[in-house]
Amino acid sequence: MAKEPNQRGRRDREEAAPEFADRLVAINRVSKTVKGGKRFGFAALVVVGDQKGRVGFGKGKAKEVPEAIRKATEQAKRQMIRVPLREGRTLHHDIEGRHGAGKVVMRTAPTGTGIIAGGPMRAVFEMLGIQDVVAKSIGSQNPYNMIRATLNGLQKEMSPRMVAQRRGKKVADILRKDEAPAAEVNAADAAEPAEA
């Protein structure tokens, strides 16, 4: 009897949670050879996100396509990750991700660039809510590996706030240090023509 209120509470939380968008990335027909012949089924790969910095992927297998997609979507919702976004539209810094033979390179981009990325990676960025990014996949073209490599890279991303917290400093101190060398270079460039 004690379990019932917890289950009710969990359901309420799921309903109160933000609505997730999902994208079907790949669907495969798979077969199992048994004594009487072959049994066919379907394997689905789905990416789910709230388009505000959370994303996850899942895979599901079933005899029918809709059931496989439903299983994959449920798994994706269970294993979502949060990614800090700069201005809510792009990455804070360039990152690389790896999984198996798959390697992906993701670069931050100025406003108006759009999502420049291949199939499975594009699905991840759209579900994450990134609007401007330049990405390239190197090596494995397997959609499962590409998505895992993309998520591996996104987990490494750190916002200035996270870096400041880890170093025990203020965000302004970290940003000021990054801008200082650029200011010194500009001052040196301005001084050179005056000497000539």
Question: Domain-by-domain residue ranges, the chain?
Answer: 3-81, 163-195
In this prediction, residue 31 carries a pLDDT of 93
In this prediction, residue 167 carries a pLDDT of 86
- 3 state SS of 168: coil
Which residue ranges in the chain fall short of pLDDT 70? 1-18, 176-196
In this prediction, residue 178 carries a pLDDT of 54
The residues that bridge with 82 in the sheet, in sequence order, are 54
Give the whole-angstrom CA distance, residue 58 versus residue 74. Answer: 7
Distances (CA, A) of 8 to 1, 2, 19, 181: 12, 11, 19, 56
Two tokens, residue 71:
């299983």
In this prediction, residue 196 carries a pLDDT of 42
In this prediction, residue 42 carries a pLDDT of 95
This prediction's pTM: 0.76
Give the whole-angstrom CA distance, residue 171 versus residue 167. Answer: 10
Torsional class of 100: left (φ above 0), alpha (ψ -120 to 50), beta (otherwise): left
Cα angle 61, 65, 66; round to 5: 105
CB atoms < 10 A from the CB of 39, how many? 11
In this prediction, residue 195 carries a pLDDT of 46
CATH topology of domain 3-81: Double Stranded RNA Binding Domain (3.30.160)
